[in-house]
Every structure is written in C-alpha cells, then in structure tokens.
A and B are shown apart, each in its own frame.
Chain A
Amino acid sequence: MRKIDIVIIGGGPAGLAAAVAAYDSGVDVLILERDEQLGGILNQCIHNGFGLHTFKEELTGPEYAYRYIRQVSHRQIDIRLNTMVMDISPDRVVTAMNREEGMFQIQAKAVILAMGCRERPRGALNIPGYRPAGIFSAGTAQRLVNIEGYMPGKEVVILGSGDIGLIMARRMTLEGAKVKLVAELMPYSGGLKRNIVQCLDDFDIPLRLSHTVVDIEGKEHITAVTIAEVGADRKPIRGTEERYTCDTLLLSCGLIPENELSTAAGVTLSPITGGPVVNESLETDIEGVFACGNVLHVHDLVDYVSEEAAKAGQTAAWYVRGEFSRDRGREIALKAEDGVRYTVPATLDPNRIEDKLTVRFRVGDVYKDAYVSVYFDDARITHKKKRVIAPGEMEQIILTRKQLDEYPDLRTITIKVERE
C-alpha cells in the first residue's frame, strides 16, 4: 500500500490552504479531489467579494481559488483529480477511486477532512405540494447557470435567504429573469448583510421574513407557489397565503457539512454544527484525523476557511513530524451559552497553543447592542460590545497563550451573549 504523510480529502478552498500550509511545514501531501479541477465550489461563484481579508482586494471565486491553486502547483504538491474517496478507516487508510487507477488505498499518517458541505434539499424541508421539475437548490442552479451556461427559468421565487440564494437572486436577475421575492422562514436572514444590500435591495427584490412556501403547483413543471406568513412557532398562519406564479423555485435553506466519510472513520460529530468535534489543533477525536472549512462548520467568508485550513495543515504536519506532545497536559472545555450556539474548537490544551488561538462561533438569534463575554471559569475575562450579532455572520474571539498561562487551574471557558 502506498504511504504518504498527509492525505487531504477535497481540493476546495479548505483543502488547498491546508495543503500549502502542511507542505510548508515539511511533509508530503496528496490532495484527492472528486471534480475535474481544483477550487471546489469557488469555481461557480463568479461574483466578487472574495479575499478582502486574505488579499486585501476583491476577487471573484475562481480568482480567489486560483491564488491557492498557483501556490499548490508551485510547490508541485501531488493531486488526483476526478477521484472520489470511498472510505477512510479509523487507522487512516484512505480508499479512493478514479477511472485511470481504479480503486486504490493509501496509508496516511494524517488525514485532513476538507469535503465542504451540501445544501439542504426540498425533501428535508417537508414542503407540501407537487414534485415537478423547476425546483433547485440554489447551488445547483448556480452551477447550471455559471458552469453549464443554461437558465433554469425566467420567473423565480427563492425560499431561504442563505448567501447562495441571495447571490442567485442577483445572478438570475442579471440574466434577464424576474425574481419575485425571497421568502425566509426565520424572522431574520441567514445571509450576510452585505449580500442583502447588494443582491436584493439594489435590485428591488423583496425579502419576506417569517414566510415560507406552503404549496407547490405544477404536475410536470412548476407553475406557481403559495407562500404564507409563519408565527412564532414557525407554522403557517391561515389566511396569509399569497400565490405567485413562477417557473423556478430556488432553495437556500441551509448547508449541511458533508461528513459521511468522517462518520465512517469513527469521527464524533457535533449535533449543532453537523461537523466534527475538534480540539485547538483542529484534530477530531480520531487521532491523526483533522478537519477544516465547511466540513467542520459552515463559514460565510472563504477568507476564514483559508485561515482555519492553514492552521489544520500546520497542526497536521506537526502531528506527522512528532512535534505534538502526545500527552495532553490540560484539557480545557469551551462552552457555548446564552445565545452562543457552538464554538470551534470545543476543547483546548494550552500547551499546544503557540501564542494565540482563534475561537469561532455563531449565535442563535439577532442581538443588537449586546456584549460577547468570555468567562474563565467564573471570572469574566472579556466583555465586548457589538452593535449587531446575527446568526448569518460568524463571530470570533482570540485567546492568547499568555492569558491562559495566567490561569493554571482553568477548567472551562464559557462564551456567551450578555445584554449588559
């Protein structure tokens, strides 16, 4: 069996950044990518707005991907395209398949999970009505329009205000379609504020919060949908139904980290994020298996994916080189409370933190003029006022090694939203 230091599953933004960082830390890397090119979902994100944090300039998705693809090819990092990973065993044997090599196995010293996420389909939303053609998840429609060059329809209703749905509202409009409205079940949008402004407001596309689709008409092809307002219980309110004719219904109702392979390897997933539970090194509970990007938790900015993935690449390389102290000295739990839904990582060992650690999290509701507080056991360490905190925008705090060293008996770090 072929042996390699690190196998990276997925050649999207996470896999690319992890590969570069791991390679630069002095180990052999192989990227396995199921598509015919590197770059992942960025290839179909032809709008701009990528890279403001990483490169201090606005790039399109393919341009952003290319910056990393170039770094990978300069380093002559080994890649396999059109290659589907079929299985990862708990002892890190990766089984993959492609047309040329057939099915083959590789023994990896470390595996980095970078498979990204998928969209929640109509079936999982229990939308009643017919099941005709013309209903797409927003990302599938984005692929058809931007990669294949075909239009799904001309009269569009969008359910869900996730970022891809918002981007597609603008994209379909620019291609000459009429986007009638975006309905969102929740009382707030799941997307970035800037996308609501640039993709809906600028094109006079109404966003109807607390609304959902309650019926789909059309036996062969969709002809109309009925939307209705929902109450606090998120159930439709009778009498608020409105019918809209349309030939396309796009769904942007959430992304699900794609963890079938992780589960097969025995990795424990968080019920909140749908991604692996990881420690400060982005290592899962299966030794030598690391995770980063949208397979770990869904990000809204690719810049943070790259940053997180570079960290995973580096720590995986340290692991391979034996630079990790295997005996975890202290394990401090990170707890999400009072409006904070989860944290990544979920635990940390201060001895494995160089100088600082980024902790990312999301909140479960919209908070205005509230505080993000960090408690070291019972002591409040930081208390930072934020004008708006929303579920659609990932938040982060930075913990320093110095801070942690000041509390040698620390057991639990709690992050919460406080009104005052």
Chain B
Amino acid sequence: MRTSETNLSENPTDKVMLRGSSALLAMGLLVLMGIVAATYLLAEKSRISFDDVTAARDTRTAAVDVRNSLLSAESSQRGFLYNGNEIYLSPYDTAKSSALRRFEKLQLLVAGEPEAAASIDQLKAIIGEKLAEMDRTVALKRQRKDDAVAAIVASNRGKALMDQANVYFNGIILAADDRLTARVAEQRSYFAWLRMITIAGGIAIVIVVGFAWASLLRHTRELSAARWNLEALNSGLETRVRERTADLVRANEEVQRFAYIVTHDLRAPLVNIMGFTSELEAGVATLQTLIEKSGIGANASDPLVANARMAAEEDLPEAIGFIRSSTRKMDGLINAILQLSREGRRPLRPEAIQLAALIESTVSSFQHQVKEADGKIDVDLAGVEIEADRLSLEQVFANLFDNATKYRSPARPLRIRVGARTIAGDRIAIDFEDNGRGVAEQDVERIFELFRRSGLQDQPGDGIGLAHVRAILRRLGGDITVKSTLDVGTTFRIELPMIAASNERAFA
C-alpha cells in the first residue's frame, strides 16, 4: 500500500537517517560531556595549585616576618648594649613576643611538610638560644655588668646564632619561592589546556550542530515532500471516487432507462398477440357456432371433415388457451420489471417513523390471513424510531408479512416475531422471525433473485417480492439477509441506518 511509504518506521532511508541523527547527537553529547569533565578537572587542579600558592606565599611571609622580628629585637638589644639607654630597649620585648608569635604561625604553616619539620625544630632551637642569649646580655647590662656583657658579645655567639637562623630562613623562603614558581607554571599549563579544550569543544559543537541542522533540514524537506505527495494522492483519490460514483450513477440510470424502455417496447407486441388471440377466439367461436348449427360432420365418415371439426372444437381453443396464459405470464413479468424500475426512480422522502406503529398498520391488512392460520404476531419495537422513507418500509414489511402468511407451515399455528436492536455505525437491525416452512440452505440467496422462487410451488407468486424488498432496502442504505432452517422457520434480518443518508444510493 502506498500509504505505508509515508510511515517513518517502514521507510528504509528514514531509518538510516534516524540512526545517523541519533549517532550524531550521541557523539555531540559525549564531546560536550568530555569538555565539561576536562574543564572541571582542570579547574579543580587549578584550585588545588592555587591553594598551594597561597600556602607557599603565607609560609614565605611568615618566615620573613619571623626574621624581621628577630632582627628588630637584635638591633634593639644592640642599641641598648651599646649605650645602656633604655630607649633602645623599648621595641625589644614587642619584637621578641612578635617573633615568637610569628614563629608559631610559621610552625603551623609548615606542619604539613615533613622535610620542613626537622629544619623548623632546629630553627626553633636556634631562635630559642638566640633569644636566651639576648635576654641574658640585656639583664647583665641592666645590672651594669658591662664586662660580662662584653665577654658574651666578644664570643660572637649571638652573630653565629643569627647567621644560622638566617640560613634556615633563607632555606624556607627559597623553598617557598620554588613552590610558587612551580605552581605558577602548573597553572599556566592548566590554562593552556583549558583554552585548547574550549577551542576544540567549540569546533566540535559547531560540527555537531551543523550536521544536526543539515539532517533536520533534509528530514523536514523529505517530510514536506511526503506530505505534498500524500495530499496529491488524496485529492487524486477524491477525484477518482467522484468519477467512479458518477460512472455508477450513469450506469444505474442507464439500467433504469433500459428496463423502462424494454418493458414498454415488450408490451407493444404483447398487446398485438393478446388482441389478435382474442380476434382468433372470436373467429373460432363463430366457426364453432356454424359447425354446431349446421351439424356438419357430426358423424362424418370423411376424415377431412372430422379433422376440421376437431380443430375448431378442441385444437384451436387449446392453442389459444396456451397463448393466453403465456402472454398473461409474460405481462406479469414485464409489470414486475416495470414496478422495480419505477420504484428506483421514485424520490425518497425520509421522515421520522415509529416502527411499532408502522408495523401495526401493516399487520392490520393481513388480519384475515393471520386469523385463518391461527396466527399470533408478536411485535417488540416499543420506542424504536428511525428516519426513512415511509412508503418503502411499508412495502418491505407488507412483503415480509405476505410471505410469512403464504409460506407458513400447515403443521403448526403461525407465529411471527419482530424485534429490533441498534448495532454499530448508528444502524438498526430488525429481526423478522417466523415459524414457517423455511428455506432450503441452497436456496437462501436465490430467494432474493428476481423471478426466482423456492420450495413447494403451491402458492401464487411471480418471484418478485423479496427481490423488490432487497432493492428497496439497498436504496435506503440498508440490506436484508436471511437465516433459515427447513421446516423450522425463517429469520430475515433487516439492517438500516437510523438516520437516512443525505444522498441516497444511486442504485434502486
């Protein structure tokens, strides 16, 4: 079927294209995720490195601070030692306590570095010793023990201690500087990476989006082309349906006209046959009168005379009788065709019909037959209302009641049951059930054919009724089917739309 071609799941090129699109999207997603992950990793590394930078800088500052405080204490001590003036000693205590406090801070800062721990302990010892030396000289100077002070100073122990401390300070500062340089280099490389990844990511995004855009465009174009095709197909289909319908209507009109013309043209010669048969009959009657009156050949020995008498009295009337019965039959058939053709041309007038009332009035015209058959009619149609042509339905039910009374079973009293129920598609199914003689299985379709009858031919009829019924119902947009069991009964099922179709079927 053509419509399936427009179905995405069944179109091979669409499948490929869908697969391609999703692969592309997945790739794009992966690239983006990679970029995000790499950026996050680099940022994290950069943060750690930056923390380290801060730590190194703090360590360096702390070391410098300790040294400065120590130097400040030393210069204060030296000034005091030099001239014994207490003014010089005024910053000494502050510098000393500051040196100790700052050393503690330095100690904390380098606590995480094991290689620094040893040197910091040694530094601590040196600083402690230096401070003790300075305290001792300051105390001795205050006691005016200048000699003892001079001895200590002369020992150069204080300078040596300060030099040692400076070595450690320089070591710590250099180490911090190295760390700073290394970290900055690290950061620079992280930034370079980040830039590269960002550029690569941008390019990847442009490529993926470009492909997605292109495939979207192509897909959209294909879709609109498919829709256009579908629309073209649809309108073509409508046109075709219209054409076919018009053809059908035309064909039906032709059949109608044909039936009409045929019946009229068939009737004309029939009039002649009948007419001249009557003339013949009249002629024969005259002949018979003559023979009777004259008594010719009453007991004639001449076979010619006897034969003539025989012809006038028996052969001719017999022939005429057959001609008459045949023409009468033919006339009946022609009338039936004419009736069907007329029924097909009669305009339908749909109206709301209470089925129960309609059947009631139909039944009343069969009262006599029903009574004769000891019959009972059970109509179960309360409240069933449909919209249809009244005359058509009356003809349908009259035919069905006529058949049911004509073909009842002599073995049992006639029972007819009429019921209805709604079925799918706003239609109604009317069941017309009898307990008559039934129809043999092989004749079930035949009973709806024109001029065909079934079963025992003990009732007058032309085989028109059910053909007519079916034609009427089909014209109303319905149909009739039959289920029957021989010698048990027959059920006709009529299906009709609840609402008359706006434009009636073309066929009658």
Q: Do A and B come from one complex?
A: no
Residue numbers of B with Cβ under 8 A of A are: none
